[in-house]
Structure 1
Amino acid sequence: MDPRSEVILRQVNYLKGKVLFIHAPNDQLLSTLDTSIESSIWTWNYADHQAQIKNGYTSYFDVSFPQQVYDQVVIYVPKSKELLNYILYQVASHLLKKSQIFLVGEKKGGVERAAKQLKAYGETKKLDSARHCQFWQTTLEKIVPIKPLTDWLQQYHIANHHIDMTIYSLPGVFSQNHLDVGTAVLLPYLEQVKSGTLADFGCGAGVISCYLAKLSPNNIVHALDVDAFALASTKITFERNNVPPNQFYTHAVTGIEDAPSDLDAIVSNPPFHQGIHTNYDASEGLCRQAKKHLKTQGELWIVANRFLNYSTLIEKYVGTCTVKADQQGFKVLYANNAKF
């Protein structure tokens, strides 16, 4: 069981009624709770959501607070300070005054910083510290009005060759308020990508997806991500850059295995973090399984940190890997799904 959940179990007597667990990991916590606790989960991680549904839990995959009434919430601290601000505001605008808000997180994950954010909503106290984690409680004293999701957007402009677009990003999305270096290195090479039906794996705020759509009205772009905030951001980016709705699709995925088939190209700045922890499963899975989703002569384009040896995997599972660029600590890798 996740150590954060173990700390919750140490203080489980504080929980009662209808309890919403926010950003809960995929573990067995809910099945160990007393039947008097009516528990459900709000998550924006599609892989966790699918696993929780499989376990028989009530799970909501969304960017907004579930349309239910709760007595208490337990928030697992997200990596992003801005995302926690959004979550706390959502909680405060949906709970009744005097409701209990609990916060749990790893010390190295910023739980003490998060507790300071929590104090803005009521008197806060630490209930426990164990397993390198902390568990905090607040009684909600500050009620705030509901704000539309669009009020939380940040934006920035990109001008590259003949493509001009504005990126719109919600809290917690990768590189929320600026263009990241890896994607900046990749952008000039997107004009070389084969036209047709394309996928952007790990779409984030939609930089690559929108750029590919803008390159040609004949491009059909599938934006794929595990994160609901990324998918919502990408959809807004498409719409506000006037990309026709029949030119793009957004998909919640657990990994590349959920991608469409018969693609002309897959383009990716693949993720290698899950929360505060490094995790290469998604990006390595992309290298291993991309071939199954590409047409013959379909292309794989990846930008990645120079130290990540994806070229070996690409050579083994897709085809000859060519380094198109090596600059600013990033490599742009290309392979063609030719018949062996």
Structure 2
Amino acid sequence: MDPRSEVLLRQADLFGGPTLFAGLPDDDLLGRLPEACGWTWHAGDQARLAERFAGRCQFGVTPPEGAFRAAVLFLPKSRELTGYLLAALAARLPGGDLYLVGEKRAGVESAAKQLRAFGPPRKLDSARHCQLWQVRIEQAPAEPNLEALARRYELTLADGPLQVVSLPGVFAHGRLDRGTALLLEHLDGLPTGHLLDFGCGAGVLGALLKRRYPQSRVSLLDVDAFALASSRLTLAANGLDAEVLAGDGIAAAPKGLTAILSNPPFHEGVHTDYQASEDLLRQAAGHLVTSGELRLVANNFLRYPPLIEEYLGPCQTLAERDGFRIYRASRA
């Protein structure tokens, strides 16, 4: 059981009625609170929760419809995303209670100050290195406009400007990170066919691929609903059409790909997690056609070449700059 859930269950009498848990972990919390429902923006958590608690959890960027007496937000990493989520939940809770739970090292005490927008917050519990806060929503705010919170910027590229739309919580929100910038310079000579942007974020790579290879089928895959929504906005802003897929890791990718391109994630919340990136390297061959190519950017301290060569084939370094390297390998 996640320690944040353990703290909530110490106060289980507060959540005995219809309660919405937002950003909940894939543990047994819903099993312990039979009237509760979940809302998640993590495709992997959604799949696991749906398997165990069918119909009781929703995936997306807006809260599910329903009459909830209370809502609990599990603190996300991004302060801007926290602000949106609290407002979205408060808008559905006139006269109800809004709770915030999170780890101390994730900054829950500081984040609790954001509850002041809705009333005086109270700390209810502190245990398992976590805290639980509460505020009563006396007057519900208007439903927040998520798209209005987007950051929009333009990339000046050799083949013309590219518009990027980034929503709160998305990797490198409102800016182009150095790794992706380097990868964008090394997209020539890709095999035509079905191209995948793995871990698409705001959709920068996938949009450029579709523009540069218009005859190819392009898919964008991410685990995060806010990233997927950002990618759709980025594609639309550039008049492009591509497939946007929700899935937890490379196992969710289509088969028969001619190329996989990625700035693969290795951070999740306050914890460092390399699993999605390492799974990509181990399983890419199973999703590529013969001679299909993997091309990715990574911090140069990450020892990816041995994994690439073990599971795919000879690894070539195409470029190195600012602490990043571009690796290329083809399936034999």
Instruction: Give the TM-score category using the shorter length.
Output: over 0.9
- Does 2:64 correspond to 1:66? yes
SS in 1 for 2:37: strand
Question: Which deviations, in whole Å up to 9, do the C-alpha atoms of 1:161-181 show, x marking residues without a partner?
Answer: 113211001110001110001
SS in 1 for 2:259: strand
- On the 8 A contact 1:160/1:188 being kept in 2, the answer is no
Structure 2 distance, partners of 1:15, 1:150, is 31
> How do residues 1-340 of structure 1 correspond to structure 2 at under 5 angstroms?
1-33=1-33, 35=34, 38-57=35-54, 58-96=56-94, 98-243=95-240, 245=241, 248-338=242-332
- On the 8 A contact 1:320/1:336 being kept in 2, the answer is yes
Question: Which deviations, in whole Å up to 9, do the C-alpha atoms of 1:75-105 show, x marking residues without a partner?
Answer: 1000000000110110122221x21011100
Question: Which deviations, in whole Å up to 9, do the C-alpha atoms of 1:187-246 show, x marking residues without a partner?
Answer: 110123223210011000001000101112112210000000001110111011001x3x
Structure 1 distance, partners of 2:148, 2:7, is 35
SS in 2 for 1:189: coil
Question: Which deviations, in whole Å up to 9, do the C-alpha atoms of 1:31-74 show, x marking residues without a partner?
Answer: 123x4xx1000000000000001112511001011121211001
Residue identity opposite 1:89 in structure 2: A
- On the 8 A contact 1:127/1:137 being kept in 2, the answer is yes
- On the 8 A contact 1:23/1:43 being kept in 2, the answer is yes
Calculate the TM-score normalised by the size of structure 2.
Answer: 0.97
Moved over 4 A (4+): none
**Identity across the alignment (%):** 46
Calculate the TM-score normalised by the size of structure 1.
Answer: 0.95
SS in 2 for 1:190: coil
The alignment yields a C-alpha RMSD, in angstroms, of 1.1
Structure 2 distance, partners of 1:232, 1:223, is 11
| CA apart distance, 1:331 | 0.7
- On the 8 A contact 2:30/2:53 being kept in 1, the answer is no
Unaligned runs of 5+ in 1: none
Structure 2 distance, partners of 1:10, 1:147, is 32
SS in 2 for 1:89: helix
Structure 2 distance, partners of 1:269, 1:215, is 18
Q: How many residues align?
A: 331
Structure 1 distance, partners of 2:91, 2:20, is 14
Unaligned runs of 5+ in 2: none
Residue identity opposite 2:298 in structure 1: A
Residue identity opposite 1:41 in structure 2: G
SS in 2 for 1:165: strand
